[in-house]
Amino acid sequence: GSGRDRGCDRWDEAACQVEGAEGAEGGNAQEQKSSAEARAEARAESERQKAAQREQHQQREAERLRKIEEAKKRAEENNQARKEEEAKAKKAEAETERRAEDKNQAKKEEDAKATKAEDETSKDVASDCGSCYGAEDLARGIKCCNNCDDVKNAYKTKQWGWPGNDKFEQCKNVREDVTRNPKARTQPCDAYMSCKDCLEVGCGWCISTRRCAPDEAWQCSGENDHIGKIGTHKACPSREEHTQKRAERKREEEAAKQEKVQRDEAELERARARYK
N residues, the chain: 276
Can you tell me whether residue 143 is helix, strand or coil? coil
Residue bearing the bigger pLDDT, 100 or 245 = 100
Can you tell me whether residue 134 is helix, strand or coil? coil
Nearest to 118 by CA among 167, 175, 55, 69: 167
Residue bearing the bigger pLDDT, 245 or 9 = 245
Strand ranges of the sheet holding 226-227, from the earlier edge strand across to the other edge: 211-213, 204-206, 226-227
Which of 56-70, 104-118, 177-191, 223-237 tops mean pLDDT?
56-70
* DSSP conformation letters of 214-242: -SSTTSSSSGGGEESSSSSB-SPPPHHHH
Residue 159: predicted pLDDT: 72
Using one digit for the tens of pLDDT, what is the confidence trace for 35-68? Answer: 888 888 889 898 999 999 999 999 999 999 999 9
Residue 53: predicted pLDDT: 92
Residue 7: predicted pLDDT: 47
Residue 206: predicted pLDDT: 92
CB 213 within 8 A of CB 225: no
Using one digit for the tens of pLDDT, what is the confidence trace for 144-173? Answer: 999 999 998 888 888 776 677 778 888 888
pTM for the full model? 0.28
Give CA–CA dist 226/198, Å, rounded: 12
Average pLDDT of the segment spanning 196-202: 87
Residue 49: predicted pLDDT: 92
Flag whether pLDDT at 223 surpasses 80: yes
Give CA–CA dist 256/258, Å, rounded: 5
Give CA–CA dist 43/38, Å, rounded: 9
Across 85-94, 131-140, 235-244, 245-254, least confident range: 235-244
CB 140 within 8 A of CB 133: no
Residue 163: predicted pLDDT: 72
* DSSP conformation letters of 86-150: HHHHHHHHHHHHHHHHHHHHHHHHHHHHHHHHHHHHHTT--SSS---TT--BGGGTB----SHHH
Task: Please name every residue paired with 233 in a beta bridge, in sequence order, or none if there are none.
Answer: 227
